[in-house]
C-alpha cells in the first residue's frame, strides 16, 4: 500500500484534488484493492445522504488531526503482513481487517460531516445577520433620500420666492448728457445714467470715432471736481461706433461734473494719459 497515495482517499472522494493528483490517485486505485474497497464503502454510505448545506473546506489542522487518528488506529489494529515477492496479483486484505477499519472510516466521515454542517450553520447565521443589516441600511438610505428631497423642495420654494421679490422694475433715466468733440471733428456721443431699483448704470454710446491702432483703446471717465474716475474701456466697429456700461456704486454720493472720452495707449488705465476727444458740458 502506498501510504502517500492512500492519504489522499478522503480528498479524492471530496473532489479536492487537482487534475494531476486525480490522475495519479486513479492510477493508484488500479493497484490498491484496500483503497478501492474504502472508496466503495464511502460512496455507499453517502449515496442517500441529503446534502443540503454548502460545501465547506475544513481547517487544515483539523484534517491533519483526523487523518493522524485514522492511521494511528490502523497501525494499532492491523496485523503485520509478510511481503510475498513471488505474488503477481494484488494483495488481498482479510475481511476481518476491513471490517475492523470500517468503523474508523465511518467515524472520520461522520466527524467531517458534522464539521461541515456546523460550519455551514455558522455561515447561514452570518448571512442572515448580514441580510438584516443590509435591510436596515436600505431603510436608512431611503430615509436620507426622502429628507434630501424635502430639502430640495424647500430650497426650490425659497429660490422661487426670491425671484418673485427680485422681479425687474421700471428703469428711470436719471441724467442724459451729449458728448461733443473737443477737436471739432464729427465724433459725438451720448451719456445716460439709468436707475433700476437699487442699481445705477452709466451707459455711454459714441459714433464716428477715429480708428484705433495697436493696443489703443477709448476710455470713459466720470469727472468729479478735478478727480477723474475710470468708467470702462471700449473699442469701436468699422463705422466708428462703440459703447460702454459702468455700474455706479452710490448715486447719492455721486457728483458728476463732466463725462469725458479719452484715447489711451492701453485699456483700463487708472488715470488718463491720452487727450480728451469727447466731453459733456460742465454742470
| Backbone phi, psi, residue 89, to 5° | -85, 175
253-267 as b/e: b if 16+ CB within 10 A: ebebebbbbbbbeee
CA distances in angstroms from 197 to 169, 171, 173, 200, 260, listed in the order given: 6, 8, 12, 8, 26
The answer to whether the Cα torsion of 280, 217, 264, 253 is positive or negative is positive
Contact 8, 25 (CB under 8 A): yes
Q: Can you give the pLDDT at residue 190?
A: 93
Q: What is the mean pLDDT of residues 234-243?
A: 93
Please report, for the chain, the start and end positions of each structural domain, with discontinuous segments joined by +.
3-51, 126-165, 172-280
pLDDT > 70? residue 142:
yes
pLDDT of residue 92: 41
Inform me whether the pLDDT recorded for 106 exceeds 90: no
| Burial profile 125-136: b = 16 or more Cβ within 10 angstroms, e = fewer | eeeeeeeeeeee
Distance of CA 264 to the CA centre of its chain: 53
Q: Which grid cell sits at 69?
A: 487518528
The CATH topology of domain 172-280 is Immunoglobulin-like (2.60.40)
Q: What are phi and psi of 282, to 5 degrees?
A: -65, 145
Summarize the confidence of residues 97-120 as an average pLDDT. Answer: 68
Confidence of residue 87 (pLDDT cuts 50, 70, 90): very low
- Per-residue pLDDT reduced to its tens digit, 27-43: 999 999 999 999 999 88
- Of 249, 251, 246, which Cα lies nearest the Cα of 260? 246
- The answer to whether 226 touches 210, Cβ cutoff 8 Å, is no
Average pLDDT of the residues of the chain: 80
pLDDT tier at 260, thresholds 50, 70, 90? very high
> Could you give the percent of the chain with pLDDT greater than 70?
78
Record the pTM.
0.41
Amino acid at each position: 500500500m502506498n501510504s502517500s497515495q492512500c492519504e489522499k482517499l478522503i480528498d479524492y472522494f471530496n473532489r479536492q484534488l487537482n487534475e494531476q493528483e486525480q490522475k495519479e490517485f486513479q492510477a493508484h486505485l488500479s493497484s490498491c484493492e484496500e483503497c478501492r474497497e474504502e472508496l466503495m464503502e464511502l460512496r455507499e454510505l453517502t449515496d442517500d445522504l441529503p446534502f443540503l448545506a454548502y460545501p465547506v473546506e475544513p481547517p487544515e489542522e483539523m484534517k491533519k488531526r483526523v487523518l493522524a487518528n485514522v492511521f494511528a488506529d490502523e497501525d494499532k489494529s492491523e496485523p503485520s503482513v509478510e511481503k510475498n515477492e513471488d505474488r503477481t496479483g494484488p494483495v488481498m486484505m482479510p475481511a476481518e481487517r476491513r471490517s475492523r477499519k470500517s468503523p474508523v472510516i465511518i467515524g472520520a466521515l461522520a466527524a467531517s460531516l458534522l464539521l461541515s454542517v456546523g460550519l455551514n450553520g455558522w455561515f447561514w447565521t452570518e448571512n442572515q445577520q448580514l441580510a438584516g443589516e443590509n435591510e436596515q441600511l436600505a431603510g436608512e438610505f431611503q430615509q436620507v433620500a426622502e429628507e434630501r428631497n424635502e430639502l430640495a423642495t424647500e430650497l426650490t420654494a425659497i429660490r422661487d420666492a426670491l425671484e418673485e421679490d427680485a422681479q425687474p422694475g421700471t428703469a428711470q433715466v436719471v441724467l442724459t448728457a451729449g458728448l461733443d468733440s473737443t477737436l471739432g471733428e464729427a465724433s459725438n456721443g451720448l451719456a445716460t445714467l439709468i436707475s433700476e431699483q437699487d442699481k445705477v448704470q452709466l451707459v455711454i454710446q459714441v459714433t464716428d470715432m477715429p480708428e484705433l491702432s495697436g493696443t489703443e483703446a477709448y476710455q470713459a471717465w466720470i469727472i468729479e471736481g478735478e478727480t477723474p474716475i475710470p468708467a470702462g474701456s471700449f473699442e469701436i466697429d468699422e463705422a466708428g461706433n462703440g459703447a460702454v456700461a459702468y455700474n455706479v456704486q452710490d448715486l447719492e454720493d455721486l457728483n458728476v461734473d463732466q463725462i469725458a472720452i479719452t484715447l489711451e495707449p492701453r485699456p483700463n488705465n487708472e488715470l488718463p494719459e491720452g487727450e480728451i476727444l469727447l466731453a459733456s458740458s460742465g454742470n
